[in-house]
Amino acid sequence: MRQNPQRRAALLDAAIEVLAREGSRGLTLRAVDAEASVPTGTASNYFANRAQLLVQILHRTRERLMPAPEDLSGPLDTKVLLSRLLERMRRERSVHIAMLELRLEGTRRPELQAELAEFQREELDANVAWHLEAGLPGDRQGVVLLYLAMLGLIVDDLTAPATLEGHPVDGLLDLMVRRLLPEHPAP
Amino acid sequence: MRQNPQRRAALLDAAIEVLAREGSRGLTLRAVDAEASVPTGTASNYFANRAQLLVQILHRTRERLMPAPEDLSGPLDTKVLLSRLLERMRRERSVHIAMLELRLEGTRRPELQAELAEFQREELDANVAWHLEAGLPGDRQGVVLLYLAMLGLIVDDLTAPATLEGHPVDGLLDLMVRRLLPEHPAP
């Protein structure tokens, strides 16, 4: 079976759009073919089955959400980094909605949930390590709390942004950083 | 059309189970009838259509998640209240998973999203007001950040709990309260 990496990535991007638009029950190999405008049967040359496709989507979301080098450039400042993270999320809504769909699908498929949790655990560990090595203010537990608060913010901003009307995001990010990552954390 | 409030609540609880188990695309009036073990056509006597059903489910989740009086009793302590909230969430997994399904469905149905956001905004305002009136430590913005961090924690705990392996929840709740709701918030 010949496989082409660009074609694979395009199929996964099509799958992300299908997930975001139709929900996880709308995701079939045929729907991916249609979304990618390729002949029926193409996706099944790349993914043995739907479960395989779901796992591959997970890995593709990581590529899509990887910060660009310029996002990590300039004098490092956690508040600026979080603002860029939020901007990137708003540009990549489909990827984040697809991730929420995968989370829900994982409540019904233990093997997907295991993969998802491992994936997120690695990401969180890497974020904590990066933050501490960069010498930014804050400690390990503070970074974990920041991850949780940002997850909550992303979920609301994606699915019901008017919930936070009256609480400008910029002020929330600012206070999050100041309170969760103090320069001198109390013991 | 005769309607019976207990029957209505039972149908909505059945709809919550269908949503949690099958996802939003599995939710039909017929699936609700089957889940509630009532004759086909019963749910359509109570809900004009699926959109009506979705809005009613939203209101039913609020009833299901209302803290019991004993959950708010005893000397008030935010950390204890959050631990009880988390326990209640774990007992009512279906309700929370159904809420996430409604959030995702709201990304595809503007009228549901508007209802959801208004519902959540009222809940958040009520939580902030309750917290401040109870005289607990912390300020308005701190309570909003606590809401976001708890939303993130609930999403991970529901969908991929192993993500937080190595970060015991009790310690996270404790630090969340201490950092986000300081006794004397800095200006």
Give the domains, in start order, of chain A with CATH numbers: 5-180 (1.10.357.10)
pLDDT at A32: 97
Segment A119-131, tens digit of pLDDT: 999 999 999 999 9
Spatial distance between the Cα atoms of A109 and A24, rounded to a whole number of angstroms? 12
Spatial distance between the Cα atoms of A177 and A36, rounded to a whole number of angstroms? 41
Q: What is the pTM of this model?
A: 0.94
Comparison of pLDDT for B175 and A1, the residue scoring more: B175
Residue A74's pLDDT band (cuts 50, 70, 90): confident
- Closest chain B residue by Cα to residue A118: B163
Of B114, B149, B167, the CB nearest to A149: B149
End-to-end Cα, chain B, rounded Å: 58
Structural contact between residues A150 and A124, judged by C-beta atoms closer than 8 angstroms? no
Q: Inform me whether the pLDDT recorded for A95 exceeds 90.
A: yes
The interface pTM score, or ipTM, of the predicted complex is: 0.94
Q: What is the mean pLDDT of residues A38-62?
A: 94
- Closest chain A residue by Cα to residue B120: A163
Contacts of A137 in chain B (CB under 8 A): none
Q: Inform me whether the pLDDT recorded for A2 exceeds 70.
A: no
Q: What is the mean pLDDT of residues B136-156?
A: 96
Q: Inform me whether the pLDDT recorded for B1 exceeds 70.
A: no
Q: What is the mean pLDDT of residues B143-164?
A: 97
- Helix/strand/coil for A47: coil
Q: What is the mean pLDDT of residues A29-56?
A: 95
Contacts of A150 in chain B (CB under 8 A): 152
Residues in chain A: 187
Of B20, B104, B180, the CB nearest to A159: B104
Q: What is the mean pLDDT of residues A9-37?
A: 96
Dihedral (CA of B151, A124, A86, A28) sign: negative
Segment B5-48, tens digit of pLDDT: 999 999 999 999 999 999 988 999 999 999 999 999 999 999 99
Spatial distance between the Cα atoms of B72 and A163, rounded to a whole number of angstroms? 25
Q: Inform me whether the pLDDT recorded for B180 exceeds 70.
A: yes
Cβ-defined contact of A162 to B100 (cutoff 8 Å):
no
Instruction: Provide the CB-side half-sphere exposure for B25 (13 A, CA).
Output: 13
Q: Inform me whether the pLDDT recorded for B81 exceeds 70.
A: yes
Cβ-defined contact of A171 to B114 (cutoff 8 Å):
no
pLDDT at B187: 59
For A173, residues 6+ apart whose C-beta sits below 8 A from its C-beta are A79, A82, A83, A86
Look up residue A135 and give its DSSP letter: T
